Amino acid sequence: MGCGEVGELEPPTPWICPIVLSPLPPAVAQLEVGYYSKTCPNAEAIVRNEMKKSSPPRPASPVHSSGSISTTASSEVKAKLEAACPNTVSCADVLAIMARDAVVLAKGPTWPVPLGRRDGKVCPRPSQTSRCSPRSSPPTASTSRTSPSSSGAHTLGTAHCPSYASRLYDFSGAHSADPSLDSEYADRLRTRCKSVGDTATLSEMDPGSYRTFDTSYYRNVAKRRGLFQSDAALLTDVNTREYVQRIATGKFDDVFFKDFGESMVKMGNVGVITGAEGEIRKKCYIPAKMHERAAAAALIGLPPAPVQDDLVSSGRPGIPDCPGRPGCPNKPAAHAAS
């Protein structure tokens, strides 16, 4: 996303979804590049080929704290991997590879992805919302901060209105809009995002170049046209402001590309499950036990069992749906047996 001028915002296409690898609590990760070289040697090639099949390719932000994982895309990739190497490649590793390939396919840098993660057996439940992530732990304040280079992921993808609308309406007693946001840009955003409760509207995170991984995001941030408060915060610290201004010149793209790859590897190494812990899910966002129960129920013609409290998600997209408890945004949904 990044149009030269904000007025050039084009309607985002419906297949754009952010892919998220949220940084999690520190853990000693036993990960290695080439982890599947013997057990599933074509794993990374399968992921890349499936992503190339998207037409057009899905621009997706690999790092975004309030974003979501493209359930359809990851499910398609995981199905191909299960066919080639049953019960071998974890969903957590699938998402790590997809994050890298999303950047590469958008003309960004590549980096080696250490693999060997396992999937969580149950979903964390700090909030009772919709679906279940392969991750085992929610992000914490200390690990959810991103470096100025990883913030550059906001050059790809789109965001729903509620993730930034608080900057446009009733920001504070003294200001109707966030004063750190360029006023012209705020006016343009309000023409798309009509209210804080507008959940249908998508806006480009880097207007005009949201399909290409480049440094235009930093030029927008330098002009106070970053979509999120976290973008604006980069200008409040002398070190991060200096980084933004340097990359915004367009003369240090190679520096940003190198920094970004390194930051992704670091974030991908914290909060992971390895070794004998966790499990390998057959379907992403469905813990294996639940998947087995649903399959068994389908064989004898029974409806899927209701989702239990220990499977409530941390607010990331996937399956199962939230079955009508307080805080659930949707009514219970019938689940197709898998």
**Which residues does the annotation mark as catalytic?**
64
Residue with tokens 């996303």: 1
- Whether the CB-CB separation of 318 and 283 falls below 8 Å is answered with no
Widest pairwise Cα distance in the chain: 64
Which residues sit opposite 119 in a β-bridge? Answer: 279
- Whether the CB-CB separation of 214 and 253 falls below 8 Å is answered with yes
Contacts 24+ apart (CB under 8 A), 109-113: 109/213, 109/257, 109/258, 109/260, 109/261, 110/261, 111/261, 111/262, 111/264, 111/265, 112/33, 112/265, 113/33, 113/44, 113/265, 113/268
- DSSP of 79-109, one letter per residue? HHHHHHSTTTS-HHHHHHHHHHHHHHHTT--
- Cα–Cα dist 81/330, whole Å: 31
Residues in the chain: 338
- Cα–Cα dist 226/15, whole Å: 23
320 preceded by a cis bond (ω within 30 of 0): yes
139 preceded by a cis bond (ω within 30 of 0): no
Q: 10 Å Cβ neighbour count for 224? A: 18
- Cα–Cα dist 286/299, whole Å: 18
- Cα–Cα dist 73/162, whole Å: 24
Residues forming the annotated binding site? Answer: 154-155, 206, 214
Residues forming the annotated binding site for heme b? Answer: 154
CB-based contacts of 92, cutoff 8 Å, min separation 6: 117, 118, 119, 134, 135, 272, 273
Residues forming the annotated binding site for Ca(2+)? Answer: 155, 206, 214
